[in-house]
Amino acid sequence: MESEKIKFTFLSADGTRQQVVGAAGETVMEVAYANGIEGITAECGGSMSCGTCHVYLDETTFAQAEAPSENEVDMLDIVSSERRPTSRLSCQIKLSAALSGAEVTIPETQF
Amino acid sequence: MATQLDPAAIPVGCPMHAAGERFQPFEHDGMFEQLAEYRKDVPIFYAPQIDYWVVSRREDVISVLRDHERFSASVATQAVVPWPPELLQFLADNGFTNESVQVACDPPRHSRVRSHVQGFLNPKKLQSFEAEVRQLVQSYVEAMKGKDTVDLVDALTYELPAMTAFLLLGVKDIDPRRIKAWTELRVKLMHGFPTREEQMSAGDDLLDFWRFSCDLVEQRKQNPGDDYPSWLLASRGGDDEKLTENELKSLVFALLLAAHETTSNASANIILELLRRPDDWAALVADPSLIPNAVEEGFRFCSSVVSWRRVAKEDFELGGVSLPAGTKLLLSLASASRDESVHENGDVFDIRRKNARSHLAFGNGIHFCMGAPIARMQVRMMLEELTKAFPDMSLVNDDPVEIVGVLTFRGPSRLPVRLYA
């Protein structure tokens, strides 16, 4: 299970699509970093302390993925780009089968 | 590799021993050059003067900051020179009940307190002060006009961040220099190397500063406003389980230091580096859109917070050595932000550097600086207004700048410039 590979896509604010592969258990933020995806700043390094790794999931994935914790929901209140119903902090989304084929949209700005 | 190192057993002649002997934790002159050497060969060494192990590489610094389970923040603001028992007794007898609430706390306490604080100290809320901060910066810059030379520390960087802190606190009609003087005293008592006399004579001022914070909270209880103490009071909702009143007062006391001390130093550090490179200054004058990245490069290259502290809760390995629980670590943010593994030619100041923002000036992990957005805003605005008002500004060359500081902070004491306006 640990080595299971999950394939999903980052959609940048400028329309660029990049398909990436990560291992189950890794976070979306970590995969973005590993693949040089721009626009996910994650200034605190994934500690849910800065609100700069904000992304939008597609509706299906949002519904399938594990629900955000109460702390994450609180942090989503303070993100800089518009908060939408499928907003998440990418440092809190762990790759699982639910993320397979997901479309992760990166907001225009994290500041 | 698994044997634990006893500092006393590091042989003379070993690079680690030599680094510890040479390193002067309170001396800022030449610090960056020394750290650049250590980053290559001595990623961690023992500094006997302070009984801390100094960590110089970015990867190691980040790994400690992110591992709050194994590395406690409890020593972050601990007095480097312990306060005399008489001073502690005097403070206790007079109702000085300040307690650790943020930087020197670990979860779950840290998480509980932070959840209240972040309702106010967050990027969105801080951005809402943009117009008022702009006005403040402009008024300081306006006051400099017509002068031939000014000391930028005295005329701008010293007071402005305190005035911004007052905006957050809803404080009016207080002399910022009063808060600055109190703050410098507190910084020296925590991170400096004060004499016993200096410590003993600090009691009254420390008490006054604490009472000022408490009074502020009491006033907001009577007349709440749209400010930080009022927000905390509302968020607490009278429930000690959520946040006690003493914690709240301690938070206000903390903000009265943290909200301006580092920004004063940071802005002066950055302006100094820019003026040392007239071409860079001219580039910002010609194209102000370069300013935000120049600010980040400034934070990276000459952070006002040069180091931060942690203590190990269990035995650990770092930088190739094994050390026991209880080991105190001085994480060199100054060195980590110049680490060539991430920042090519890290010791070069480059306002166009692509990854300038990946510095550690605001820390990393759960203690990431909550004031970062407003610190960035202020430095940016200072540069925007200064380059606009004084495009030909230059350093007064025959008036050398002295960088002063304590264990953790640094900045110029004066910054004399010619305005050519």
- Of the candidates B119, B124, B365, which has its C-beta nearest A47's C-beta? B365
E-strand stretches of B56-205: 71-72, 149-151
**DSSP element (H, E) containing B104:** none
Range of the domain at B312: 7-418
Q: Where are the alpha helices (DSSP H) in A1-109?
A: 28-34, 59-64, 70-76
Task: Identify the closest residue of chain B to A111 by CA–CA distance.
Answer: B123
CA distances from B127 to A94, B133, B293, B312, B374 (A): 31, 10, 18, 36, 7
Paired tokens of B352: 């166009």
> C-alpha angle B235/B236/B239, rounded to 5°?
145
A78 close contact with B: CB closer than 8 A: yes
Q: What is the per-residue pLDDT for B315?
A: 97
B362/A43 CB distance under 8 A: yes
B357/A51 CB distance under 8 A: no
Q: What is the per-residue pLDDT for B248?
A: 98
> C-alpha angle B61/B67/B72, rounded to 5°?
95
B365/A50 CB distance under 8 A: no
**Other residues' Cβ atoms within 10 Å of the Cβ of residue B205:** 14
CA B269/CA B406 separation, integer angstroms = 15
Residue B259 Cα to chain centre, angstroms: 9
Q: What is the CATH number of the domain that holds B14?
A: 1.10.630.10
The alpha carbon of residue B123 is apart from the nearest alpha carbon of chain A, in Å, by 7
- pLDDT above 80 for B23: yes
A50 close contact with B: CB closer than 8 A: yes
CA B236/CA B220 separation, integer angstroms = 13
Rounded mean pLDDT of chain A? 93
According to CATH, what is the number of the domain A5-105?
Answer: 3.10.20.30
When comparing pLDDT for B409 and B421, which is higher? Answer: B409
B65/A51 CB distance under 8 A: no
Q: What is the mean pLDDT of residues B84-100?
A: 97
Q: What is the mean pLDDT of residues B281-299?
A: 98
Q: What is the per-residue pLDDT for B91?
A: 97
B122/A71 CB distance under 8 A: no
**Please, which pLDDT band fits residue A14 given cuts at 50, 70 and 90?**
very high
A107 close contact with B: CB closer than 8 A: no
Task: Using an 8 Å CB-CB cutoff, list chain A residues near B115.
Answer: 71, 74
Rounded mean pLDDT of chain B? 95
CA distances from B389 to B386, B393, B416 (A): 5, 9, 16
CA B385/CA B380 separation, integer angstroms = 9
User: How confident is the model over B305-329, as pLDDT tens digits?
Assistant: 999 999 999 999 999 999 999 999 9
> Residues of B numbered 109-128 whose beta carbons fall under 8 angstroms of chain A's beta carbons: which are they?
111, 114-115, 118-119, 122-125, 127
B332 close contact with A: CB closer than 8 A: no
Q: Which has the minimum average pLDDT: A63-77, B62-76, B134-148, B230-244?
A: A63-77
B357 close contact with A: CB closer than 8 A: yes
Q: Quick check: is B2 in a domain? A: no
Q: What is the per-residue pLDDT for B136?
A: 98
B125/A46 CB distance under 8 A: no
In total, how many domains does chain B have?
Answer: 1
Task: Identify the closest residue of chain A to B359 by CA–CA distance.
Answer: A43
User: What's the burial of A68, exposed, middle or buried (CB within 10 Å: 0-12/13-18/19+)?
Assistant: middle
Q: What is the mean pLDDT of residues A1-6?
A: 75
Contacts of B98 (CB under 8 A, 6+ apart): B210, B249, B250, B253
Q: Quick check: is B92 in a domain? A: yes
Q: Quick check: is B138 in a domain? A: yes
CA B313/CA B310 separation, integer angstroms = 9
Paired tokens of B314: 């269990």
The alpha carbon of residue B13 is apart from the nearest alpha carbon of chain A, in Å, by 38
Question: By three-state DSSP, how is residue B55 classified?
Answer: strand
- According to DSSP, residue A68 is labeled P
CA B77/CA B191 separation, integer angstroms = 7
Q: What is the per-residue pLDDT for B3?
A: 66
Q: Quick check: is B1 in a domain? A: no
User: How confident is the model over B155-214, as pLDDT tens digits?
Assistant: 999 999 999 999 999 998 899 999 999 999 999 999 999 999 999 999 999 999 999 999
User: How confident is the model over A29-75, as pLDDT tens digits?
Assistant: 999 999 999 999 998 989 888 889 999 999 999 999 999 998 899 88
- pLDDT above 70 for B133: yes
Share of chain B above pLDDT 70, in %: 99
DSSP per residue, B330-372: EEEHHHHTT-TTTSTTTTS--TT-TTTT---TT--GGG--TTH
Q: What is the per-residue pLDDT for B123?
A: 81
Q: Quick one: which of B100, B172, B91 has its CA closest to B136?
A: B172
B123/A44 CB distance under 8 A: no
B-interface mutation test, from A78, A83, A110, most B Cβ less than 10 A away: A78
CA A25/CA A6 separation, integer angstroms = 10
**Please, which pLDDT band fits residue B1 given cuts at 50, 70 and 90?**
very low
ipTM over 0.85? The verdict is: no
User: How confident is the model over B31-65, as pLDDT tens digits?
Assistant: 999 999 999 999 999 999 999 999 999 999 999 99
Q: What is the per-residue pLDDT for B15?
A: 87
A75/B118 CB distance under 8 A: yes
Q: Quick check: is B285 in a domain? A: yes
Q: Which residue ranges make up each domain of chain A?
A: 5-105
Chains A and B form CB pairs within 8 A to the count of 52
A45/B357 CB distance under 8 A: no
A45 close contact with B: CB closer than 8 A: yes
Share of chain B above pLDDT 90, in %: 90
The answer to whether B401 and B414 are in contact (CB under 8 A) is: yes
